[in-house]
Amino acid sequence: MIVRTLKDCENSERCVATDTWQSVRMILKNDNMGFSFNITTIFANTETPIHYQNHLESVYCISGNGEIETVNDGKIYKLEAGTIYLLDKHDKHLLRGGSEDMQMACVFNPPLSGKEVHDENGVYPVD
């Protein structure tokens, strides 16, 4: 059995941050669960271009607000507590923080190894 707290993970190498987001990687590839699980904060008034070519992701908004825009068709979806979105087609998108930070619960398949950050195309590499 594995037991961890968000606080313990925040104060470890499992916490990865950039100028627009912070991701606390609570479950990683080496936990052998077949997926990874993050609590990610999208900072207010920011925009992050993302294109998960190598991963599927589901994202549930716990708190805060923002929006996601799919690049191919320009559709914009409002995000707020209680909203889930699924990147089931490797959608290239822009993730925008709104007037307050958004806290998101994120599941990745295949699982992340832990230190991933987006490359110049918004992609996470495959481990």
In a domain, 117, yes or no: no
pLDDT in tens, 11-44: 999 999 999 999 999 999 999 999 999 999 999 9
Range of the domain at 79: 6-109
The reply to whether 45 falls in a domain is yes
CATH number at residue 14: 2.60.120.10
| Any domain includes 126 | no
E strand intervals along the chain = 15-17, 21-27, 36-42, 47-51, 56-63, 65-70, 76-80, 84-87, 92-97, 102-109
pLDDT in tens, 98-119: 999 999 999 999 998 877 666 6
pTM assigned to the model? 0.90
In which band, very low, low, confident or very high, does the pLDDT at 52 lie, cut at 50, 70 and 90? confident
Query: Does 62 fall in a domain?
Result: yes
Decide if 115 is inside a domain.
Answer: no
Helix, strand or coil, per DSSP, at residue 116: coil
Taking residue 56's Cβ as centre, other Cβ atoms within 10 Å add up to: 15
Number of domains composing the chain:
1
What the block records as the tokens of 43 is 């900072």
